[in-house]
């Protein structure tokens, strides 16, 4: 009779199981929805920490391009940037070949099942759908242009400019139809940048804005400076005017923008009415959405749903000054949030510290910048504020090409804590906002800022830089308010 097999101990069985797990280890799968700033920053960062044998990364992008500079689209349309591909930081094949990230363009995720941990993906070219399982899911669907709910808003010749595909359609229309008159609907960042692009293309430009000023994120007196500059450049502003519809011809192409003040003739129209988080896909999957309409995340970019993450324009974050939940569509924020998500997905630890809403733009020669809270926003957040505005020059007044700069500074009454700043000026003005942003990030008072050792030489600033003059003036107002 053959001997009975020897009984194995619990320690031996555990050791055998560990060896089998090591030999047949199952690779974890990360699915990324969205192939631009946040999504591909996260994928790249996670790949740096985990190789393909540990982490499979599958990214779906419904468009044709990945990792491109959407902020550069107005300048491409305006002719300041020659080729579309100059805006592409990294093509899909680079991710595939150099980072083993399986990027599939032309594939739209149309459904998420968080219980089964699957996504349903439509191949837009083939028209077929397939399910893909995931262990971790990053939603980075970005933002979508706001379209006024008026008749005809989806007519041919009315363009949003959120993606490279959108930008190409605008350029095709300019080439094919030779328009003479453009109407820009909305005067936010994209609106004024597209107004400049149309002006550079030689079109007559009309800007329709429901608010009483362009750039509603600025306080009224600063917005008025922007309006005056746009008029001097030859743009026609229609402020405090609502759009009521789009008039079209027999070919269904736009012929005019109908407003409360009458119809403006138009050969082409561009939407500059802002964006909202494209969170519909997440909402349909019952991933929580916050008051800003962005996807709710914690500091690590995790959603409340197990295995779910979100980053970029579709995600909600918090404002470091107001402490309120916000969604701000900026490439800087999207890239940083993507990096944070990628670090955590790769097994490291990192937390996103919030935002200030720092932003700059320009319209022709006029530079515009802001950070933190304006006077109106600070009051709405519950602060008692002191605000002052100064006018100066970007260089010593006697140095050639010194240009005007206007700075508005907002501080908390009593403490003197800096709450925000806004700048409107010409060359050399806008990037000064970074000094304010740094001070704001570190919760400095205006007295602290007044004594910062900034550089000086006549070609770059007066001996008292406009930043210091602004801090000195608001500091004096804070002291006077405390008497």
**Catalytic residues, which ones?**
71
Q: Record the tokens describing residue 431, joined without a space.
A: 């990037």
Q: Give the other-Cβ count within 10 Å of 317's Cβ.
A: 23
Beta bridge partners of 337: none
Distance CA 184, CA 186 (A): 6
Pairing of strands 268-271, 158-159: parallel
Distances (CA, A) of 123 to 2, 107, 158, 286, 401: 61, 5, 27, 24, 55
Distance CA 302, CA 309 (A): 4
Sheet holding 128-133, edge to edge: 107-113, 118-123, 128-133
Contact 435, 454 (CB under 8 A): yes
Sequence-distant (6+) residues with CB within 8 A of 139 are 33, 34, 112, 281, 282, 287, 295, 303, 308, 309, 310, 311, 314, 315
Pairing of strands 128-133, 118-123: antiparallel
Q: Give the other-Cβ count within 10 Å of 351's Cβ.
A: 12
């Amino acid at each position: 009779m053959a001997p009975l097999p020897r009984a194995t101990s619990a320690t031996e069985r555990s050791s055998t199981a560990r060896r089998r797990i090591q030999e047949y280890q199952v690779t974890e799968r990360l699915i990324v929805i969205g192939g631009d700033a946040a999504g591909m920053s996260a994928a790249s960062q996670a790949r740096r920490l985990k190789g393909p044998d540990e982490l499979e990364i599958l990214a779906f992008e419904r468009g044709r391009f990945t990792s491109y500079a959407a902020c550069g689209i107005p300048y491409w349309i305006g002719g300041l940037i020659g080729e579309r591909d100059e805006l592409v930081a990294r093509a899909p094949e680079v991710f595939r070949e150099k980072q083993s990230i399986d990027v599939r363009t032309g594939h739209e995720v149309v459904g998420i099942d968080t219980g089964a941990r699957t996504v349903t993906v439509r191949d837009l070219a083939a028209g077929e759908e397939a399910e893909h399982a995931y262990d971790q899911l990053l939603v980075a669907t970005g933002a979508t242009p706001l379209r006024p709910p008026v008749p005809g808003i989806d007519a041919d010749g009315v363009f949003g400019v959120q993606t490279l595909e959108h930008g190409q359609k605008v350029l095709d229309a300019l080439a094919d139809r030779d328009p003479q008159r453009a109407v820009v609907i909305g005067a936010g960042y994209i609106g004024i940048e597209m107004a400049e692009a149309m002006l550079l293309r030689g079109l007559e430009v009309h800007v329709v804005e429901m608010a009483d000023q362009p750039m509603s994120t600025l306080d009224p007196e600063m917005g008025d400076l922007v309006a005056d500059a746009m008029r001097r450049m030859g743009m026609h502003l229609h402020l405090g005017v609502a759009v009521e519809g789009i008039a079209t011809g027999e070919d269904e192409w736009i012929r005019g923008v109908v407003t409360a003040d009458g119809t403006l003739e138009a050969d082409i129209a561009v939407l500059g009415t802002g964006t909202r988080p494209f969170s519909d896909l997440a909402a349909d999957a019952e991933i929580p959405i916050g008051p800003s309409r962005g996807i709710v995340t914690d500091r690590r970019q995790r959603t409340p749903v197990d295995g779910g993450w979100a980053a970029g324009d579709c995600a909600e974050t918090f404002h470091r000054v107001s402490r309120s939940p916000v969604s701000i569509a900026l490439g800087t924020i999207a890239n940083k949030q993507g990096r944070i998500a990628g670090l955590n997905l790769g097994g490291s630890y990192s937390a996103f510290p919030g935002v200030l809403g720092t932003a700059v733009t320009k319209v022709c020669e006029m530079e515009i910048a802001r950070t933190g809270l304006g006077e109106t926003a600070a009051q709405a957040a519950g602060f008692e504020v002191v605000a002052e505005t100064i006018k100066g020059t970007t260089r010593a007044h006697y140095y050639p090409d010194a240009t005007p700069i206007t700075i508005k500074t907002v501080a908390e009454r009593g403490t003197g804590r800096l709450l925000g700043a806004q700048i409107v000026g010409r060359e050399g003005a806008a990037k000064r906002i970074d000094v304010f942003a740094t001070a704001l990030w570190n919760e400095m008072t205006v007295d602290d800022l007044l004594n910062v050792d900034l550089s000086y030489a006549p070609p770059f600033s007066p001996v008292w830089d406009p930043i210091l003059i602004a801090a000195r003036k608001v500091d004096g107002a804070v002291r006077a308010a405390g008497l």
